[in-house]
């Protein structure tokens, strides 16, 4: 073989190898391309599967939310009984094509094989205890409901099915479990060292600036607005700021705690709970159920010409108490001067000691009253001149009825002498023997055990107080700071008309600043009005016990979300 033939043969072999290598790499490329295409297809299917699954979860969530929305609405208007009684109706709820054509792509069920249904049951019964969520640490009546809905996305060989479970808690939170509660801006600016021993909450702003002394919050403080370490811009007083000590959390921008009155919770709207309802309003309406007029065992209405006394809404106000009977514990001719208002107060007066005797006598069953009298509503609607003001005064209230006592009125209220306190308990924080009690009014003024009507218009030196104890929740109005006048703050929420210098006002209860006073609108801080007492104040821990809450205690109805869980039912199939 010559040299030329050898070279040609080598070239042919090399071309063959090259062709083989080309074919090899082409095969590898095709395999890689096939793998890439298969990966892309699988990934696309996986993405589509994920998207379908989470869309189905969202559909299941929509079904549970439809039920929860209905539960929340029913609870606000009818309470837990309405929710528990509505279970069968809730089970029929699911998104429908009448709401949106989108829902034609889904089928809903209750996870028990019933199409067009959802599952809801009460998993924890209505009991009293610690509530959850953002109100952790508060007590309340509560029940837990479990809601489950399955959704199936239609149109696939193996349809995607997903489930969602939500647990919600309906709660009723008593307002009197706060040491201080405000539905308005809350100002706490004491001029003497103060310890606040219970929880504090405002549905608005909290301004706190003690005047050169120490203010200590012993428990949790919350505000729907902000908590300001300083005074309100509408407070004109100049103070030397003192230290504020927080012994627990203090949180701004928390949820408001409102009353279910069927409208907004502005101070003017909430004031209606102490007013006489219009004749056209049903006692079973949202606002009607919150009115003290409708929650009381005995209703006293005083007009220019008559006094009517009758049983409350529990039996349709059908039992009249003759005036010859009622005047044993009610009088309408109490008169004294109020230096803060600079007016003569003409008051309807309730003798609590005589009420206790009367309600425990045979007179009550003989009259046809079926409720022991533990709550009294008094409205003095007599016409007053420019120099006069209406009022309701409680006297001789050391011992209360066995079931406690709530006295409510749209008028300013005056409590004279020791109230719900006798014997060794006077002057102490010992409330072991007290009865559940509250005073609810346009404003509340405390008159000491030695108050004398005859001296009420005299100078402050003629109105010297004595040590006095009141054990009751106070729900009343304030006169707001306005740039020229200070409201007086929580430290002056109970109003005074005597020189308390060196004397002690002992108070165990709950202070609720719910609205602005409409009648007693005189500003705090006038000369010759009062001298500040030593304040021996404490939150009454009895109010943490459901059986020891004052009659008619207002309660905020809240639906709280507990847990939210996706339930994977079916996540496979050819998509």
Q: Which residue carries 């700021």 as its tokens?
A: 241
396, 418 contact by CB (below 8 A): no
Q: Rounded distance, CA 186 to CA 206, Å?
A: 5
Strand arrangement, sheet containing 215-217: 194-196, 215-217, 244-246
Give 21-26's long-range contacts (Cβ < 8 A, gap of 24+): none
Q: Which two structure tokens, joined as six digits, stand for 435? A: 């009865």
pLDDT given at position 30: 55
Beta strands in 486-530 (DSSP E): 495-496, 504-509, 511-516
Q: Rounded distance, CA 161 to CA 54, Å?
A: 10
Q: Rounded distance, CA 296 to CA 378, Å?
A: 10
**Which of helix, strand or coil describes residue 322?**
coil
Strand 206-208 and strand 186-188: pairing? parallel
CA angle centred on 567, ends 564 and 569, rounded to 5°: 165
Beta bridge partner(s), residue 187: 207
Q: Which two structure tokens, joined as six digits, stand for 76? A: 């606000």
150, 60 contact by CB (below 8 A): yes
Quick one: how far is CA 365 from the chain centroid? 37
First to last CA, the chain: 68
Q: Which two structure tokens, joined as six digits, stand for 83? A: 């929710």
Burial of 155 (0-12, 13-18, 19+ CB in 10 A): exposed
Q: What is the pLDDT of residues 499-542, one digit of tens each?
A: 999 999 999 999 999 999 999 999 999 999 999 999 999 999 99
pLDDT given at position 29: 61
Q: Which residue carries 């406690």 as its tokens?
A: 404
230, 207 contact by CB (below 8 A): yes
Q: Rounded distance, CA 444 to CA 150, Å?
A: 56
Return all residues near 277 (Cβ < 8 A) that are at least 6 apart: 283, 287, 288, 291, 293, 294
331, 301 contact by CB (below 8 A): no
Q: Which two structure tokens, joined as six digits, stand for 251? A: 């949180």
232, 530 contact by CB (below 8 A): no
Give the max Cα distance, the chain. Answer: 151
Write down the H helix ranges in 466-529: none
Which of 201, 183, 202, 186 is CA-nearest to residue 266?
183
Quick one: how far is CA 567 from the chain centroid? 34
Domain residues of the chain, as ranges? Answer: 3-173+558-570, 260-553
Beta strands in 158-205 (DSSP E): 160-174, 180-182, 186-188, 194-196, 200-202
Q: Which two structure tokens, joined as six digits, stand for 12? A: 């042919």
Q: Rounded distance, CA 304 to CA 306, Å?
A: 6
The pTM score is 0.88
Q: Rounded distance, CA 280 to CA 274, Å?
A: 17
Q: Rounded distance, CA 213 to CA 192, Å?
A: 6
200, 247 contact by CB (below 8 A): no
Q: Rounded distance, CA 332 to CA 306, Å?
A: 10
Which DSSP letter does residue 269 get?
H
- pLDDT, averaged per 10 consecutive residues of the chain (575 residues), comes to 54 57 58 52 54 84 94 94 96 93 92 90 95 81 95 79 92 96 97 96 97 96 97 95 96 94 91 96 94 96 96 86 94 97 98 93 74 93 96 98 96 98 96 97 98 98 98 98 97 98 98 98 95 97 96 94 76 40
Beta bridge partner(s), residue 377: 299, 408
Distances (CA, A) of 416 to 313, 380, 470, 488: 29, 18, 9, 21
pLDDT given at position 315: 82
């Amino acid at each position: 073989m010559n040299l030329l033939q050898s070279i040609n043969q080598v070239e042919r072999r090399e071309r063959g190898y090259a062709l083989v290598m080309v074919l090899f790499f082409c095969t590898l490329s095709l395999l890689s391309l096939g793998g890439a295409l298969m990966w892309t297809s699988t990934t696309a299917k996986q993405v589509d599967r994920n998207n379908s699954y989470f869309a189905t979860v969202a559909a299941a969530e929509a079904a549970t939310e439809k039920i929860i929305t209905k539960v929340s609405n029913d609870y606000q208007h009818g309470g837990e009984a309405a929710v528990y009684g509505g279970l069968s109706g809730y089970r029929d709820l699911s998104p429908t094509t009448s709401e949106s054509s989108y829902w034609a792509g889904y089928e809903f069920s209750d996870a028990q094989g019933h199409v067009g249904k959802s599952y809801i049951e009460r998993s924890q019964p209505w009991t009293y205890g610690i509530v959850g969520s953002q109100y952790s640490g508060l007590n309340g009546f509560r029940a837990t409901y479990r809601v489950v809905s399955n959704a199936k996305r239609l149109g696939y060989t193996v349809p995607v099915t997903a489930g969602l479970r939500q647990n919600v808690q309906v709660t009723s939170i008593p307002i009197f479990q706060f040491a201080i509660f405000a539905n308005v801006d809350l100002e706490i600016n004491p001029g003497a060292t103060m310890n606040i021993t219970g929880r504090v909450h405002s549905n608005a702003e909290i301004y706190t600036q003690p005047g050169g002394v120490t203010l200590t919050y012993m428990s949790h403080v919350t505000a729907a607005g902000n908590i300001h370490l300083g005074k309100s811009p509408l407070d004109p007083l100049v103070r030397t700021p003192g230290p504020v000590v927080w012994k627990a959390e203090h949180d701004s921008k928390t949820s408001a705690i409102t009353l279910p009155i069927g409208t907004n919770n502005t101070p003017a709207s909430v004031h209606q709970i102490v007013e006489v309802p219009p004749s056209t309003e049903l006692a079973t309406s949202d606002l009607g159920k919150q009115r003290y007029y409708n929650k009381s065992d005995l209703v006293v209405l005083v007009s220019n010409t008559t006094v009517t006394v009758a049983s409350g809404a529990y039996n349709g106000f059908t039992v009249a108490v003759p005036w010859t009977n009622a005047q044993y514990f009610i009088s309408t001719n109490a008169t004294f001067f109020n230096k803060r208002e600079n007016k003569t107060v003409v008051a309807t007066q309730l003798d609590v000691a005589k009420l206790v005797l009367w309600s425990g006598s045979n007179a009550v069953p003989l009259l046809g009253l079926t409720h022991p009298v533990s709550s009294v509503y008094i409205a003095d609607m007599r016409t007053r001149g420019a120099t006069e003001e209406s009022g309701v005064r409680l006297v001789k209230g050391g011992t209360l009825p066995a079931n406690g006592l709530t006295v409510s009125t749209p008028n300013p209220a005056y409590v004279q002498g020791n109230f719900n306190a006798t014997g060794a308990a006077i002057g102490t924080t010992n409330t072991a023997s007290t009865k559940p009690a509250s005073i609810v009014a346009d404003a509340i003024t405390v008159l000491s055990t030695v108050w004398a009507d005859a001296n009420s218009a005299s100078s402050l030196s003629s109105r010297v107080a004595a040590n006095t104890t009141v054990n009751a929740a106070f729900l009343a109005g304030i006169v707001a700071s306005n740039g020229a006048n200070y409201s007086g703050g929580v430290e002056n929420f109970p109003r005074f008309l005597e020189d308390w210098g060196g004397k002690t006002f002992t108070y165990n209860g709950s202070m609720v600043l719910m609205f602005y006073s409409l009648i007693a609108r005189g500003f705090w801080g006038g000369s010759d009005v009062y001298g500040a007492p030593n304040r021996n104040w404490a939150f009454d821990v009895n109010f943490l016990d459901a059986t020891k809450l004052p009659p008619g205690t207002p309660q905020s109805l809240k639906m709280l979300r507990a847990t939210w869980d996706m339930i994977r039912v079916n996540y496979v199939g050819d998509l």
